[in-house]
Structure 1
């Protein structure tokens, strides 16, 4: 087996073009999958390697970057002659790009609300399947020089905080947590995806940001994480669908099968995601 390069190509968001509608694979609905155990998820070997070839284009929430990149490499190793190309970004922007005509095979969103942008456009033949969940955490500069211990601490005078934009799933979840705590917070910036919000902390442009636990873990010491109880009331479900008229539907189905398999759950769990 040849060694694959660690660098992976990503796509820029497409604008315009002939609309490419999306549909979902024959996976279970999100309600059904929410209670499914890893053992009930599809087997990673459900599709024969001989039937899977070519490029699979996956549009996925930015918070899935590390785990999906790893799964993409595993998929390519299991199916010689395939390539998984990713477009990571804010789920709302990805959904808008898809409904505007960007060609893709798979869409994995960070919330049911952003997935609904696609399903409302008649792009899914059925209900999307929830494959993981994610919880918020406060990311702070290493050493936590501002002594952030609670969500309320982010509202203190002089605190510089970055949040995801409210239309982005991480931003909507952060606002839900703030509302639940009865707090008002005006950030110094609203970012278009969770990785951008995290980068603000890494560059020490802000004192803190509200991101996902998976992003703090992926930063590997470049930030510190502060847990807060209000995050339990703002957990996001992540749905996935096969797109209608996908250029490579067979391989796309196989990739979704891997994501939802026991092997996929293991990679996602190690990244910090919660089982549905």
Structure 2
């Protein structure tokens, strides 16, 4: 056998060995990839939204309409339990005040407004990341002193002489809604004061500084026996949609989206409807 033939056979054996080695490397690579997938699956968790989402941590700042205080506080506690290592901070105030703060550069992750008009202030300024989505609706109700001593039974009754009535300022959603309701009933009302958010209007009645206030149904629900609620048909003409959005400059964008997912989940709807909100 010539030397060239022996070299050819040795080369063939070498090629076969290399082929086997390559196959082995591919198999190991596949195993490594599979193992990496498992590790990745460990890095995600499911929330009450029913969705699988990446783990989040760190502080989350939520600017929310005053009427969301009770329901969002409860959801914030749920969020922190579902995502250990997170810390949710809320700023509850009139939606217009919050929108002005956001457009002025106040650091926040999420904005939940009591009206589409107020949310538009933020989106028009380019401060929202993507289109907002409506997560709840709210309707007006009259809050009276406990037991309703003035026997108020309609929106028209609020126009009676000598009755001390408080409204939200028309620049905030609850005030704009009250104006719509009064216009729908062909009524004119001069309140003893205009308040900057719905909680301030309700507090006037709780402290017996006013006989009645036009607030949201959810606020009457949250006040318990501190007030008595009176429904009125004109409120159907002044229902407010509540939109929510992640902010463009959110310091913690992943956590912001996770909080929004919770608000829009089945658990979020349960908490919100339990507080008196309507589904969108």
**Which of the five TM-score ranges fits, normalised by the shorter chain?**
0.7 to 0.9
**2: CA distance between counterparts of 1:247 and 1:113?**
25
1:118 to 97, 115, 122: 122
TM-score, reference length from structure 2: 0.82
Cross-structure match for 1:31: none
Q: Indicate whether 1:234 and 2:234 are aligned.
A: no
Within the candidate set 45, 49, 53, 1:43 is matched to 49
Higher RCO, 1 vs 2 (CA within 8 Å, ≥6 residues apart): 1
1:188 maps onto 2:192 in alignment: yes
> Partners in 2 of 1:147 and 1:270 — Cα distance?
27
Distance 2:164 2:145 in 1: 11
Q: Report the counterpart of residue 71 of structure 1 in structure 2.
A: 75
Distance 2:81 2:230 in 1: 37
2:171 is matched with which residue? 167
Indicate conservation of the 8 Å contact 2:137/2:277, yes or no: yes
Richer in helix (by share): 2
Determine which of 164, 176, 181 is the counterpart of 1:177: 181
Give the superposition deviation at 1:136: 0.3
Q: CA deviation at 1:133?
A: 0.1
2:202 is matched with 198
- Alignment check: 8 A CA contact 1:195 1:215 kept: yes
Question: 1:44 touches 1:254 (CA, 8 Å); kept in 2?
Answer: no
1:217-239 CA distances to partner (integer Å, 9 max, x unpaired)?
Answer: 00011000000000011000000
Instruction: State the superposition RMSD in angstroms.
Output: 1.0
Instruction: Supply the distance in 1 between the matched residues of 2:113 and 2:128 (Cα, whole angstroms).
Output: 13
Q: Tell me what 1:15 maps to.
A: none
Quote how far apart the aligned CAs of 1:44 are: 4.7
2:217 matches 1:213: yes
Contact (CA 8 Å) 1:177, 1:233: kept in 2 or not?
Answer: yes
Between structure 1 and structure 2, the one with the greater Rg is 2
Q: CA deviation at 1:138?
A: 0.1
Tell me if the contact between 1:46 and 1:254 (Cα under 8 Å) persists in the aligned partners.
no
Pick the aligned partner of 1:269 from 256, 273, 277: 273
Unaligned regions of 5+ residues in structure 2, if any?
1-47
Residue matched to 1:146: 150
- Residue segments in structure 1 that go unaligned for 5+ positions in a row: 1-41
Distance 1:44 1:187, change over 3 A: farther
Task: Write out per-residue CA displacement over residues 37-94 of structure 1, whole angstroms, 9 at most, x where no aligned residue.
Answer: xxxxx9354313xx20000000000000000000000000011110100000000000
Which segment drifts farther, 122-131 or 64-73? 122-131
Count of residue pairs brought into register by the alignment:
233
SS in 2 for 1:247: coil
Deviation digits for residues 207-259 of structure 1 (CA, Å, limit 9, x no counterpart) = 00000000000001100000000001100000000001210000110000000
Moved more, 158-167 or 125-134: 125-134
Which of 239, 252, 258 is residue 254 of structure 1 equivalent to? 258
SS of 2:226's partner is coil
